[in-house]
Amino acid sequence: MTEFNIKDTEYLNKLQDYYADWKNIPSYARLCEVFGIASKSWVKAVLVRLSEADFIERTPDGAWIPTRQFFARPHAESTVQAGMPVAISATQGDFFIIDEMLIETPSKTTLITVKGDSMIDAGIHEGDVAVVEKRMTANIGDIVIAIVDDEFTLKTLDRENGAFILRPANPAYPVIRPQGTLEIFGVLTGLVRKYRK
Amino acid sequence: MTEFNIKDTEYLNKLQDYYADWKNIPSYARLCEVFGIASKSWVKAVLVRLSEADFIERTPDGAWIPTRQFFARPHAESTVQAGMPVAISATQGDFFIIDEMLIETPSKTTLITVKGDSMIDAGIHEGDVAVVEKRMTANIGDIVIAIVDDEFTLKTLDRENGAFILRPANPAYPVIRPQGTLEIFGVLTGLVRKYRK
DNA sequence: AACTATAAAGAACGTTCGTTCTGCTGTCAA
DNA sequence: TTGACAGCAGAACGAACGTTCTTTATAGTT
């Protein structure tokens, strides 16, 4: 039996890219095209090695399916110095699945696109997607989606003279001191930004 | 032709549950068991209706695959005003998959945790996870992971007197004018931040 | 130059798959 | 009470699929 090698890594990358497009692992015949291999038997040998490396597995029906590791992205930690440049370790650290990191309770999580710039000093820009966990309680200092006078707003929760206030992270905007009830819609648990390609 | 009905919703739920477990859509024969239907032809009729409702579709090979709607995470767009509060619409907008939004080419994508605060004015904080697409070319204005004198750094790519320079987004840090070669490791295509729970 | 292991191709074959067509059963309106 | 149709079952069939076995090409070693 042969081992998982560099070429198999290329095959894995091609399979991951195909899967990103089509969300399934196709027949051996189609994988011949995807991998650039002419024989089905060799495609199977590749898949067996990928499964031994725990990137794919089989259903009871014999269909190939991806494992968790298949979706994980390499994550280089403690590597990029945004202050002063620092050497990167070529070794790939642990793996990382974005959805899993950001969303712990899918049924309570909503994504909301941010409008305006009142939280810009907190690094939250217009167009960013806020990951919000719906719940009615929050702690002082949390960034919350609050319902003030039947309207929603994204602000930092704070307290002043025993009353809750909503503090923007932009000096151009005023602190909100709710007159009526202050209801919490949810708490900001994550943020996602996409840069133009 | 018949329409999508309540029973089809049950079939859809069963299919979603199966897919969550096995990450593929199996053969008609297996779907007979999953749906509790005895005939393959009727299973096919169900799938055709699910595809007409845009929950699944077919690859050029004829394989059934899920659509974006199949995974359905609600995404409320244009709703939260970070400037002045604005009414939220209870309607759920389009659907949204974080991984898919941020990662177009899995094999070329790496995640890197940001250190330091030299890009803080661009809303990139220490501890944020940068989504980096590995490639050697970039455009002026892109935020890049550059290799300067064998070291990595995250900066905005700019040009000055015909030479490339790396501009931090923090006045406390100097502009980097590479003496040796300027090599691009990759381009910042996304950013992910997780707030403490 | 011969040997060996590995990488890949190719052929053969039984099974399974998707498709299509026909048949059955219950329901509802005329 | 008959017709019509929707919901579903079952059979038939050719094409595609996965598996296994055999063969060829390439590279490295002795």
Report the SS3 class of residue A147.
Answer: strand
State how far the Cα of B4 lies from the Cα of B7, in Å rounded to an integer: 8
- Looking at the structure, do residues A183 and A149 belong to the same domain, yes or no? yes
CB A61 within 8 A of CB B30: yes
Strand bridging mode B75-81 / A109-115 = parallel
Q: Which residues on neighbouring strands pair with residue A191, listed in sequence order?
A: A130, B193
Q: Which residue of A has its CA nearest to B154?
A: A82
Q: Which residue of B has its CA nearest to A150?
A: B87
Least confident of A79-83, B52-56, B66-70: A79-83
CB B173 within 8 A of CB B154: no
State how far the Cα of A99 lies from the Cα of A86, in Å rounded to an integer: 29
C-alpha pair distances (Å), A41 with each of A32, A38, A47, A48: 10, 9, 10, 11
Q: How many CB atoms lie within 10 A of CB B87?
A: 10
Identify whether A138 is part of a domain: yes
pLDDT classification of A152: cutoffs 50, 70, 90: confident
Helices B6-22 and B40-52 cross at an angle (nearest 10°) of: 100
pLDDT classification of B197: cutoffs 50, 70, 90: low
Mean per-residue pLDDT, B81-110: 60
Indicate if the pLDDT at residue B103 is higher than 90: no
- Looking at the structure, do residues B115 and B92 belong to the same domain, yes or no? no
Q: B124-136: per-residue pLDDT in tens? A: 999 899 999 988 8
Identify whether A197 is part of a domain: no
CB B80 within 8 A of CB A115: yes
- pLDDT value, residue B79: 43
- pLDDT value, residue A92: 42
- Looking at the structure, do residues A7 and A38 belong to the same domain, yes or no? yes
- pLDDT value, residue B72: 60
Determine whether the interchain pair B75/A103 forms a contact, defined as Cβ–Cβ distance below 8 Å: no
Identify whether B55 is part of a domain: yes
Provide the domain count of chain B: 2
- pLDDT value, residue A94: 56
Mean per-residue pLDDT, A165-187: 88
CA within 13 Å, CB half, B102: 26
Residues of A in contact with B24 (CB under 8 A): 24-25, 59, 63, 65
Q: Which residue is nearest to nucleotide C7 (CA to C1')?
A: A42
- Looking at the structure, do residues B107 and B92 belong to the same domain, yes or no? no
- Looking at the structure, do residues A126 and A51 belong to the same domain, yes or no? no
Q: Would you state the torsion angle of the CA atoms of residues A149, A150, A155, A159, taken in this order, to the nearest 10 degrees?
A: 40
State how far the Cα of B87 lies from the Cα of A99, in Å rounded to an integer: 28
Provide the percentage of residues in chain A whose pLDDT is more than 90.
Answer: 49
Q: A59-82: per-residue pLDDT in tens? A: 999 999 999 889 887 766 544 444
Identify whether B197 is part of a domain: no
Domain C-terminal end among B74, B96, B118: B96
Footprint of strand C on the protein (CB under 7 A): A 2, 5, 7, 37-42, 61; B 27-30, 40-41, 44, 62
- Looking at the structure, do residues A1 and A43 belong to the same domain, yes or no? yes
- pLDDT value, residue A2: 62
Indicate if the pLDDT at residue B102 is higher than 80: yes
CB A168 within 8 A of CB A177: no
What domain range is A37 assigned to?
A: 1-96
CB B76 within 8 A of CB A111: yes
The enclosing domain of A31 has a CATH number of 1.10.10.10
Domain C-terminal end among B96, B123, B150: B96
Smallest CA–C1' separation from B49, nucleotide:
D7
State how far the Cα of A9 lies from the Cα of A46, in Å rounded to an integer: 10
Average pLDDT of chain A?
A: 83
Mean per-residue pLDDT, B116-122: 91
Helices B28-35 and B6-22 cross at an angle (nearest 10°) of: 120
Determine whether the interchain pair B87/A150 forms a contact, defined as Cβ–Cβ distance below 8 Å: yes
Average pLDDT of chain B?
A: 83
- Looking at the structure, do residues B7 and B35 belong to the same domain, yes or no? yes
State how far the Cα of B133 lies from the Cα of A21, in Å rounded to an integer: 17
CB B170 within 8 A of CB B120: yes
In this predicted model, which residue has the larger pLDDT, B58 or A104? B58
Report the SS3 class of residue A189.
Answer: strand
State how far the Cα of B145 lies from the Cα of A123, in Å rounded to an integer: 20
- pLDDT value, residue B150: 63
- pLDDT value, residue B106: 85
- Looking at the structure, do residues A82 and A107 belong to the same domain, yes or no? no
**Per-residue three-class SS string for chain B:** CCCCCHHHHHHHHHHHHHHHHHCCCCCHHHHHHHHCCCCHHHHHHHHHHHHHCCCEEECCCCCEEECHHHHCCEEEEEEEECCCCECCCCCCCCECCHHHHHCCCHHHEEEEEEECCCCHHHCCCCCCEEEEEECCCCCCCCEEEEEECCEEEEEEEEEECCEEEEECCCCCCCCECCCCCEEEEEEEEEEEEECCC
Domain C-terminal end among A68, A96, A124: A96
- Looking at the structure, do residues B84 and B121 belong to the same domain, yes or no? no
Provide the percentage of residues in chain A whose pLDDT is more than 70.
Answer: 84
- Looking at the structure, do residues B85 and B6 belong to the same domain, yes or no? yes
pLDDT classification of A58: cutoffs 50, 70, 90: very high
Q: A29-55: per-residue pLDDT in tens? A: 999 999 999 999 999 999 999 999 999
Mean per-residue pLDDT, A83-102: 54
Q: A185-194: per-residue pLDDT in tens? A: 899 999 999 9
- Looking at the structure, do residues B28 and B82 belong to the same domain, yes or no? yes
A192 touches chain B (CB under 8 A): yes
Determine whether the interchain pair A191/B189 forms a contact, defined as Cβ–Cβ distance below 8 Å: no
- Looking at the structure, do residues A127 and A184 belong to the same domain, yes or no? yes
Minimum-distance CB partner of B83 among A96, A109, A115: A115
A22 touches chain B (CB under 8 A): yes
